[in-house]
A and B are shown apart, each in its own frame.
Chain A
Amino acid sequence: MKAIEVDSLTKVYSNGTKAVDDVSFSVEEGEVFGLLGPNGAGKTTAIKMITTLARPTAGLIRVFGIDTQRAPQEVRQMLGFVPQAISVDGDLTGYENLLIFAKLFFVDREERKKRILDALEYFGLADRANELVKNYSGGMMRRLEIAQALVNRPRILFLDEPSIGLDPYSKNQVIQQIQELNKEFGTTILVTTHDMTEADTLCNRLAIMNMGKIAISGAPADLKHSVGGDVLTVKLTGQAAASLPAGLGTVVSSEQGTIKILTDNGERAIPRLTEYLERNGAVVESVSLSRPTLDDVFMKYAKASLQQEGTFREARSARRSIARHAK
């Protein structure tokens, strides 16, 4: 069964901006699906429509087969949502934050307490459960927020930039916990992020949005492959081979003791290539491997609308939201 089916989704705001323009995609159950793209690409608007927070101008969305416009409350009952800005309530304790959400999701009274304690335990917050959240660190708030989105045992979890504004350590922790969640409970996850390394580790499949449309989608490995294979740069002295045997790769450039070779799988090609070159009378001094990253994919499909200003504003607002809670 498909977790999400989006069919020709369009959103035009009252000021005429077309935030999402005829977008179609689907997410399989149990999958981690990434929605990437520059600021203003329409990711957040798309998520808002899937989570029934905004009404589509046109198009159809089904979440586990249920039409979001026909039965929004039913859809919301199945989902967990972690918005971009940190939005746990600083004036309540960690326990209370989860309690309120358990109640709003109509979790049975008998089960409530157990689920809350489990979630707090799982995210390493049990010992600070009765402290006011405004005294938490940014990373703890983020974890509490994900815990909060889990008290209703959602079948699908929406994470809008879960690691924005976190230090590398907290970021890692959050990513690991998201992965565990997906593996242990089979929770379907839809995540948006600007961090390509994060997207690469987390996502089974992803789509890059640009200017309201999906520019490309697929598995990270395939996408990386589509922007070119691995490049080996070999420094050597002596006789360099002008051509290589089939299967090793092709020479792209060769000058003054440095040759560049394009190949499918760089790591596996290195020993065979070295052996071949040395057998042909060359002395290999060094080999370096560069592989295309999701950054390259992103740049190729999204650079048309990269807006510096937007990036700056977003970063500032994220910082502000953390500062506000930390007070």
Chain B
Amino acid sequence: MINLQRSVSSALTIAEIEARKIRHDSTELWMRAVQPALWLLVFGEVFNAIRSSSLSIPGYSYIQYIAPGVLAQSVLFVAIFYGITIVWERDVGLLTKLLSTPSPRISVVVGKTLAAGVRGIFQGVMVFALALIIGINLRFDPLDVAGVFITAVLLAMCFASLSMTLASFLKTRDRMMGIGQAITMPLFFASNAIYPVSLMPVWLQYVSKFNPLSYGVDAMRSMLLTGDYSTLPVDIFALLLFTLFFIACASVVLKRLIE
């Protein structure tokens, strides 16, 4: 019992480090709003104008359709670079120091993913603000909004732990930069973020079944847009499963970074 309590408290402390850093300097957070803004303002508006009937779900405009996708994607982009952060922390000795405390390894990993979650929430706030400013019609029901934030946190935790698992094997910042670039776009394009899965070639539809991003987008879309919760339990369950799996992987292999 004491052990569980200590694990949770350590994880929260490690997330707290990140929160305190953001409080000291939030520049990066604002910069992170640029990309979703571009996707909504430029990409969304242009494709909205095309108004291809096959591109949108009947009854919704294209920009409405991609708003949840853009949110999920911006969370992915934030979280996937946590592997680089952890390699950097290894390089400057911060990781060694963290691991020399009595905190269990899993707390270090969970703490970092929670930190990614904090950033995920900010991305959510940014996208909601943008949606309000440019007048994208979404369901702003408080429960739905809360659900979207929870999904954003889960997505962030999922990709941050995936990224830390990769970092434990790749070990250098340069390689992590490379892999970050190499997997974010495929994850993005092999998902339902900016077009429905049904428009994909069949093989890609199968790939998208193993893409955590698709489940996140689907969950957000059902809460923000359709209000149809029929697939929500499956989405959240799949996302949880992916997240737990990657957290377990990262906790086991993390110590490779300092050996």
Contact = CB atoms under 8 A, between A and B. Distances in A.
Nearest to B6: A106
A46 to B, nearest CB: 14
A104 B101 contact: yes
Interface stretch (B17-25, B34-42, B177-185, B240-248): B17-25
Contacts of A106: 6, 9, 102
A253 interface: no
Contact of B102 (A73, A96, A321, A324): A73
A100 B21 contact: no
Contacts of B103: 104
Contact of B98 (A73, A79, A93, A104): A104
A87 interface: yes
B104 interface: yes
Greatest chain A CB density within 10 A among B102, B103, B104 is at B102
Contact size range, B: 20 to 34
B102 A104 contact: yes
A53 B258 contact: yes
A101 B101 contact: yes
Interface string B93-112: 11011111111100000000
The B interface, classified by DSSP as helix, strand, loop or mixed, is helix
A253 to B, nearest CB: 51
B93 A54 contact: no
Contact of B9 (A13, A87, A103, A132): A103
Interface string B238-259: 0000000000000000010011
Interface in A41-77: 48, 51-54, 73-74, 76-77
Nearest to A86: B93
A314 to B, nearest CB: 14
B22 to A, nearest CB: 10
A92 B21 contact: yes
B4 interface: no
B255 to A, nearest CB: 8
B10 interface: yes
B101 A76 contact: yes
Contacts of A84: 93
Contact of B96 (A73, A83, A91, A93): A83
B137 to A, nearest CB: 40
Nearest to A14: B259
Greatest chain B CB density within 10 A among A106, A321, A325 is at A106
Interface of B: 6, 9-10, 13-14, 16-17, 20-21, 24-25, 92-94, 96-104, 255, 258-259
Interface of A: 13, 48, 51-54, 73-74, 76-77, 79, 81, 83-87, 89, 91-93, 96, 100-101, 103-106, 132, 321, 324-325
7 tightest A-B CB contacts, nearest first:
A87-B93, A104-B101, A85-B93, A81-B100, A103-B13, A77-B102, A76-B102
Given A86-B93, A92-B21, 10 more contacts: A52-B100, A73-B104, A74-B102, A76-B100, A87-B96, A87-B97, A91-B25, A100-B13, A104-B10, A104-B98
27 contacts: A13-B259, A48-B258, A51-B100, A52-B100, A53-B100, A53-B255, A54-B258, A73-B104, A74-B102, A76-B102, A77-B102, A83-B93, A85-B93, A87-B92, A87-B93, A87-B94, A87-B97, A92-B21, A92-B24, A93-B24, A101-B101, A103-B9, A103-B13, A104-B10, A104-B13, A104-B98, A104-B101
